[in-house]
Amino acid sequence: MSEEKKAPFLQLVFDDFILLLFLGVAIYAVSYLIWGLIEIAWTPPIPDEIKEALLGR
Amino acid sequence: MAVATHGGEQWFRTCDVTGFKVDVRAERIAKVNAVMAVVSFLIAVIAALLLVLTRWQIIHLLPVDWYYRVLTLHGLDALVFWIIFFELAALVFGSTAFLNTRMSSPFVGWTGTALAILGFLMVNYMILTGNADVLMTSYAPLKAHPLFYLGMILFAVGALLIVSTFFANLMIWRRENPGQSLPLFVYGLMAAAIIAVITIVSGAIIYIPTFLWSLGIIKDIDPAVYKLVWWGLGHPSQQINVSAHVAVWYLLAFLTVGGQSINEKISRFAFILYIVAINVASAHHLLVDPAVSPVWKVWNTSYVMYLAVFASMIHAFAVPSAIEVAQRKRGYTKGLFEWLKRAPWGNPAFSGLMLSMIIFGFIGGITGVVNGMEQTNIIAHNTLSVPGHFKGAVVGGTALAFMSVTYYLIPLLFRKKIAFYGVAKYVPWIFGIGVAILAVSMYILGAFGIPRRHWDITFSGGPFTFTYNPVTDFFWALFGIGGLLAVVGALIWIVQVVVSVFFGQPFRGPQDLQIPIAEPVQMDEEHKGFAAPGTFVLVLLFIVAFIIFVALNYGWLSAMWEVR
């Protein structure tokens, strides 16, 4: 009785393009996009006196 | 050429050269996208000629408003439309013909193609009518006509639809071939398609609110948010290119000398590194932005990005070593470089492949790493060095690889003979040498402080003037010569493609094949010692050049601020 040889785990990962799609999107989204957006959101607004000085009002 | 039927409809033909089963419905979609790529390339090249003749200060051809208009036109047609249309053609053709499988949904493919063409027309029309002088980046609060943004959105949606058919085609193939791995070329295209999804989704996230803002529905667009998200489109769109052109390199090594990667697992691993690590490199466009922290910048431009650089270095060894091993199997074993000397240099696809790898690695790659590091970026940021890097990476790397593989696509996809084939062997050299001179001269001009995107660096008529080091005159002349050579090479290629495809003689079978296809070489299962010693020496040379260039940049950086 012959058993079908199972592909090695790494080959299964390499061949799973849906998993790779998920990894590609997730790493980019967390490392670049969401983290970057959080940092921009936490940036305090420019103080009014500096803003007015820059705009020459 | 046999045509098979399925349910009364003619779906497949069998290629009489490759033996591939070609779904003719996919082939038609691929052809239209390929033609659109060449149309975009023609616009980009004409724009490039006008830009070279304007920035070259002794000619200074265009007036100021047309300079920025043509710069916008050039950026979008060269970096977005030419490249992405070509990649869409490759995705459709690669996921059907190369896998001997059918097109999952021709309707979705045609809908995507129609939307992409409509977007292309709208964007180009808006730019040429002066309604979108916002450059490729269109940074808010610069505002273009709403139809410009709508055109970009339609193009992105169209491209995403075609990318979705690529994944659906892979699913059909997997169902028909359980347990098999994709051929390496298609695997590279798969990496490009995944990066394309990330790119297009980022484009949608930023262009939809910007479109609403241009209509007055949304009051403000935060410039910092715009820049962050836009570069999720802007830089990864060039990473699609990298993945796609590396896939084309593997294909060309196979077609021109019968070479195959000596370790496919490692090559596939390198593509996975692109998928997971290359897109965060967008962060280097924000290295001087105050809104994001140094931790975010350093993590994304150093720790993660270097995985992608490592991947490129794997490919930089894998492709030439595939060529070397194949050549050695043919008996070219004398010394370190007989395999290279006796390579088919008269084949334009081979010379184009080699020049593409050299220019991409030595110019585009090395300068890209220097531009991408937070420390050394500061001496290149917003100077002419930045587009100098693009010229090495995208024009010398991607465009030349795509031009080279087209010499195979004309007979195999369009079923036409190549017009003026005798001229073809000169095209990669004219174009490649021109681009190399252009890229290097731009990089050096940038090092002398010449800004990018600047109509008149003499500030003539302005309240103050600035005089650059006189040595820049020499590099401006090189810039002009390199630019003109590259334009001539590109125009010859475009004429060849247009005449072949629309007016050329039909390709009737293998007897009409002008460009040779090499017999595949049987690769050894295991390698003892150095399978590719010549490539190893070339890679060492590359690493030495890399170290010298990085060290020079740190030296220049230290000369700018005294370090105690």
**Contacts of residue B224 in chain A, CB cutoff 8 Å?**
40, 43
Number of Cβ within 10 Å of residue B372's Cβ equals: 24
Spatial contact of B41 and B49, defined as CB atoms under 8 Å apart: no
In a domain, A6, yes or no: no
Whether B280 contacts chain A with CB within 8 A: yes
B428/B304: higher pLDDT: B428
- Domain boundaries B25-522+530-560, corresponding CATH code: 1.20.210.10
Q: What is the mean pLDDT of residues B368-386?
A: 91
Q: What is the mean pLDDT of residues B290-310?
A: 88
- Report the candidate in B359, B41, B94, B38 with the shortest Cα–Cα distance to residue B250: B94
As a whole number of angstroms, the distance between CA B276 and CA B191 comes to 10
pLDDT-derived band at B1 (thresholds 50, 70, 90) equals very low
- Domain total in chain A: 1
| pLDDT at residue B535, as a whole number | 97
Q: What is the mean pLDDT of residues B472-500?
A: 97
| pLDDT at residue B6, as a whole number | 57
| pLDDT at residue B457, as a whole number | 87
In the predicted model, is pLDDT for residue A1 greater than 50? no
In the predicted model, is pLDDT for residue B57 greater than 50? yes
pLDDT-derived band at B464 (thresholds 50, 70, 90) equals confident
Q: What is the mean pLDDT of residues B193-204?
A: 93
Q: How many CA atoms lie within 13 A of B531 on its CB side?
A: 23
Interface test with B, best of A28, A33, A39, A46 (most B CBs within 10 A): A28
Interface test with B, best of A5, A23, A32 (most B CBs within 10 A): A32
pLDDT tens per residue across span B112-152: 999 999 999 999 999 999 999 999 999 999 999 999 999 99
Spatial contact of B359 and B401, defined as CB atoms under 8 Å apart: no
Q: Dihedral of the CA atoms B384, B390, B391, B392 (nearest 10)?
A: 110
**Contacts of residue A7 in chain B, CB cutoff 8 Å?**
179
Backbone angles phi, psi at B5, to 5 degrees: -115, 155
pLDDT-derived band at B9 (thresholds 50, 70, 90) equals low
| pLDDT at residue B305, as a whole number | 76
Provide ipTM, 2 decimals. Answer: 0.90
pLDDT-derived band at B523 (thresholds 50, 70, 90) equals confident
In a domain, A33, yes or no: yes
| pLDDT at residue B439, as a whole number | 98
**A32/B282 touch (CB, cutoff 8 Å), yes or no:** yes
In a domain, A3, yes or no: no
**Contacts of residue A40 in chain B, CB cutoff 8 Å?**
222, 224-225, 228, 291-292
pLDDT tens per residue across span B253-269: 999 999 999 999 999 99
| pLDDT at residue A2, as a whole number | 47
| pLDDT at residue B380, as a whole number | 92
| pLDDT at residue B527, as a whole number | 67
Q: Where are the alpha helices (DSSP H) in A2-56?
A: 9-15, 17-28, 35-42, 48-55
pLDDT tens per residue across span B490-505: 999 999 999 999 999 9
pLDDT-derived band at A54 (thresholds 50, 70, 90) equals confident
Distances (CA, A) of B281 to B181, B268, B287, B310, B479: 29, 20, 11, 13, 28
**B296/A35 touch (CB, cutoff 8 Å), yes or no:** yes
As a whole number of angstroms, the distance between CA B70 and CA A43 comes to 36
Whether omega before A44 lies within 30 degrees of 0, making that bond cis, reads no
Q: Which of B181, B232, B293 sits opposite A11 (nearest CB)?
A: B181
**A36/B304 touch (CB, cutoff 8 Å), yes or no:** no
**A21/B292 touch (CB, cutoff 8 Å), yes or no:** no
Q: Which of A11, A28, A36 sits opposite B228 (nearest CB)?
A: A36
In a domain, A7, yes or no: no
| pLDDT at residue B5, as a whole number | 53
Q: What's the whole-number average pLDDT of chain B?
A: 94
Interface test with B, best of A11, A17, A43, A50 (most B CBs within 10 A): A17
| pLDDT at residue B329, as a whole number | 94
Whether B198 contacts chain A with CB within 8 A: yes
Q: What is the mean pLDDT of residues A2-21?
A: 84
Q: What is the mean pLDDT of residues B461-474?
A: 88
| pLDDT at residue B246, as a whole number | 97
pLDDT tens per residue across span B236-248: 999 999 999 999 9
State the residue range of the domain holding A38.
14-55
In the predicted model, is pLDDT for residue B223 greater than 50? yes
Q: Dihedral of the CA atoms B375, B376, B380, B385 (nearest 10)?
A: -150
| pLDDT at residue A6, as a whole number | 78
| pLDDT at residue B562, as a whole number | 65
pLDDT-derived band at B211 (thresholds 50, 70, 90) equals very high
SS3 B3: strand
In a domain, A4, yes or no: no
